[in-house]
Structure 1
Amino acid sequence: MGRKTEGVMNALLHARVLRRWTRAARKAGAAELQVLRVQRQQARELSARLNELIYLADGRLAMPRIGSKAFARPAGTLWSWRPQLWRGPLPQKGMTAVAARTTLGDEVTLFHDCKVSELTLRQLRNTREEDLAPFGLRLDVFRFDGSFLSLALDMPPEAVEGMTRRQILRVSAVLEIEKPLEIFARLNINHGPNTEQMVQELPRNRGEAIVEFDLAYCDLNEKRIEKAWLDLIFEGPEMNQITLRDVTVCRYPRAEL
């Protein structure tokens, strides 16, 4: 049976069942008690299954669609990106005692210099109404004997195509932090033998944190730009839980002065 034929049959069956219960409801006031008792039991069993379906469907349909690239962009945006970790499921959902230089998918790498790793990572499904990214990343830090902890995000080649000093690169992160923590975003742009770096601290307010890198303030050789990457640096992360619900990057023209 073809999919179209099956769809027509299901629609006809649904219409028939709906007509049956519509008639039963209209006649309930005058129906014999024995008949009404049977219909009430059948209706309760059907209602339980329908409520279960509605509950699960509401939950799934409220989640951001897997693979979604939807997020707010400034007017005139030339390029935008949400790393794959926040778009789709990873083969390995969680890790404990995470080693230095652990890769998460093809674009994200965790760096630290702990002698004994007491770090755990877990990719989670975003389910909040305000979430736009399908997935998030949760980092639990217990005892921390290292001097640095960071996530490196390798931007795709399209990130630097047409990049000039007359543009702004904006980074947005949706954060949940168990206790106050300093987080810095460092933009790295490789051009020829040199790497230009710009650092900004992410605002500490709960929710979306946005920083903008004005490329006019860096010594950038536009003709030799090769690649770019972003570091998210966590200062003093010991005994903390950090949840990155979303990370997005976009590039757009700066206003001419």
Structure 2
Amino acid sequence: MARTGQSLVDRIRLRREMRRWRRIARGAPRAPMHILRDHRNQARGLRELLDRVIRTAEYRLTLPYVGSNAFPVPHDADWSWRPQLWREPLTPRGMASVRSKSMLGAEASLFHDCDRSELSMRQVRNRRESDLAPFGLRLDVFTFDGTFLSLVLQMPPEAVAGLKRRHLIRMEAIVELEKPLELFARLNIRHGPNTEQLVREVELNGRDMVVEFDLAYSKLNEKRIEGAWLDLIFDSPEMNQIVLRDVTFSRRPRAEL
């Protein structure tokens, strides 16, 4: 049978060890120097292990839970997805002086045309009870001498499996801005040698962002769909901090008229 906690023997040993360290702490002001030096070295080693346990426990026990893929989706959705960056811890967690096409994780890339990059991006931990995503993405933009800045999210194969022109693709996000800017979302679907592009200007309602792409207005060749990705395009991002607390996608068939 799997052990679910400490055994009685472990608890007894722990109580004895704690009593020992209480005695050491009480006697430290009067202990001989050579004994005090040994106790100090032991305590430092023990503190390192205890700090590691505390950091790991606080990291894993802080809501929302790492790996969570829970978020509201339309009742008739046939696919939903939260990208890896907002779901799982990444290594590395961030980078400074970001070059164009730099990737954070396997699905997110940052594109720009700056001669000198004064951009940084970093995965951050969401810790508020209102957050459903375990992680967020923070972009810090200082001097910006380019003409465009876009975050590209590569969608998984499931996003286009069985995709039809009667589908609606929905993106929802929670966005925090240091100062207002214009934001555009562009859905790209590759079909054969062509790429269909649908662009929407994003209207921020407070922090919440919702964009829907109706594929009925596209010239999509349903029989040759190969893949899809989405660009989030930030207009005039200079001297701004952009935090994407969550980004999710869902797909549903349009109601028949």
TM bucket, shorter chain: 0.7 to 0.9
Q: How does 1:1-257 map to 2 (within 5 A)?
A: 4=3, 7=6, 9=8, 61-257=61-257
Residues 151 and 233 of structure 1 are in contact (CA less than 8 Å); yes or no, is this contact kept in structure 2? Answer: yes
Amino acid of the residue matched to residue 157 of structure 2? P
Cα distance, 1:4 vs. partner?
A: 2.7
Cα distance, 1:122 vs. partner?
A: 1.2
Q: Aligned Cα RMSD in Å?
A: 2.4
Label 1:97 to 1:59 Cα distance change in 2 as closer, same or farther (>3 A). Answer: closer
Residues 122 and 138 of structure 2 are in contact (CA less than 8 Å); yes or no, is this contact kept in structure 1? Answer: yes
In structure 1, list runs of 5 or more residues that go unmatched.
14-55
Equivalent-residue separation in structure 2 for 1:107 and 1:127 (angstroms): 23
Residues 136 and 243 of structure 1 are in contact (CA less than 8 Å); yes or no, is this contact kept in structure 2? Answer: yes
Q: For 1:153, what is the secondary structure of its paired residue?
A: strand
TM-score using structure 2 length: 0.78
Residues 182 and 204 of structure 1 are in contact (CA less than 8 Å); yes or no, is this contact kept in structure 2? Answer: no
Amino acid of the residue matched to residue 241 of structure 2? Q
Residues 62 and 129 of structure 1 are in contact (CA less than 8 Å); yes or no, is this contact kept in structure 2? Answer: no
Residues 125 and 135 of structure 2 are in contact (CA less than 8 Å); yes or no, is this contact kept in structure 1? Answer: yes
In structure 2, list runs of 5 or more residues that go unmatched.
13-55
- Paired residues, number: 217
Label 1:156 to 1:5 Cα distance change in 2 as closer, same or farther (>3 A). Answer: closer
Q: Percent identity?
A: 62
Cα distance, 1:12 vs. partner?
A: 9.1
Amino acid of the residue matched to residue 214 of structure 1? D
Equivalent-residue separation in structure 2 for 1:199 and 1:175 (angstroms): 19
Label 1:10 to 1:188 Cα distance change in 2 as closer, same or farther (>3 A). Answer: farther
